[in-house]
Amino acid sequence: MLKIVSANVNGIRSAYKKGFLDYIAASGADIVCVQELKAQEADLAPEMKNPHGMYGHWHCAEKRGYSGVAVYSKRAPDRVQVGMGVEEFDREGRFVRCDFGNLSVISLYLPSGSSAEERQQAKFRFLDVFYPMLADLKAEGRDIVVCGDWNIAHQNIDLKNWKGNQKNSGFLPEEREWIGKVINDLGWTDIWRTLYPDHPGYTWWSNRGQAYAKDVGWRIDYQMVTPELAAKALNAHVYKDEKFSDHAPLVVEYDYGC
C-alpha cells in the first residue's frame, strides 16, 4: 500500500501552528507533497525539514515569504531533482522530484494568474514550457505522480460557481483546454475525477465571505498519474477534519509497493 498526500499549506510555519505536522504523522502517509512553503530553508525548523523522521527535500523561492515546494518521504529517495531547469520559474521554487525505484513523485506549484495580468501571462508561459516536460516524463516509462496545486479547475463540476468564473484566472478556456490536452492527448490520469466522476472534490476555498462554510470551492489540487500506476489507485479523499490553510489535503491510496 502506498499513501500519498498533496497539500498546499499557504505557509508551512502557519500550517505547523495549526497541527499540520501532527496530521502528517496521524495520516500514515508514505509521501507528502507540500506547496506554498512561504519560507526560506533557514526559516525551516528541524521538524519542518524532517517531520517525524521523514526525509525532506524542498525548493524554496528566492523571494521571501513566497511559493516553495517540498517532498517528505518515509523512505530516502534514490534521486532528487530540484527545479525544472527553467530559470524564470526555478527562482520561484515550483518543482521537486524524488525517485524511489521505478516510482517518481513530483511536488508542483503551478503559478496563479489571479493577482494581475502580468502573472497570468507568466502562468501561460509556464503552461507552454511544462507541457513538453509532461510529455517527456510520460515517455520515461516510469510510474509517476505529479502532485500539487495546478491552479486550474478543469470542468464545470470542479468549481461551485462555474458560470460566474468563465473569464477568471483558473477557469479560463485556454487553461481548461490545456488540462484537457494533458489528460486526453498526453495520456495522464486525473486520479480524483477518474475514481469519482460525479463528486466535485473541492480542495480550495476563497477566504472571502463564507466560501468554506458554504462549500463554495474549487478543485485545483491534483494527483496526475501515469496510466499503469493510475490503474492501482484504490481510493481518495479530501481531508477536511482540520483546517490548515485555504486548501485541504488530497489523499490517494495506491496498491503499490514502494
First-to-last alpha carbon distance for the chain, in angstroms, is 8
**pLDDT for position 153:** 98
pLDDT at 22: 95
Half-sphere exposure of 69 (CA within 13 A, CB side): 31
Q: What is the pLDDT of residue 87?
A: 95
CA distances from 214 to 10, 160, 210, 245 (A): 21, 10, 6, 16
Q: Helix, strand, or coil here: 11?
A: coil
Q: What percentage of residues in the chain have a pLDDT greater than 90?
A: 90
Catalytic residues: 109, 149, 247
Cell of residue 32, nine digits: 507528502
Give Cα separations from 77 to 97, 152, 234 (angstroms).
9, 29, 24
Is position 149 annotated in a ligand binding site? yes
Which stretches of the chain score pLDDT less than 50? none
Q: Is 207 annotated as a binding residue?
A: no
What are the cell numbers at 223?
494527483
* pLDDT tens per residue, range 164-196: 999 999 999 999 999 999 999 999 999 999 999
Q: Which pLDDT score is estimated for 31?
A: 98
Q: Write down the pLDDT at residue 134.
A: 98
Mean pLDDT in the chain?
Answer: 96
* Size (the chain), residues: 258
190 labeled binding residue = no
Residue type (1 letter), 234: L
Q: At the topology level of CATH, where does 2-254 sit?
A: Deoxyribonuclease I; Chain A (3.60.10)
Cβ neighbours of residue 120 closer than 8 Å, sequence gap 6 or more? 113, 114, 169
Measured between alpha carbons, how far is residue 52 from residues 14, 25, 74 in Å?
18, 7, 9
* Spans of all domains in the chain: 2-254
75: amino acid identity, one letter = R
**154 annotated to bind ligand:** no
- Written as one letter, the residue type at 181 is K
Q: What is the DSSP letter of 52?
A: G
What type of residue sits at position 238?
A: V
Q: Is 253 annotated as a binding residue?
A: no
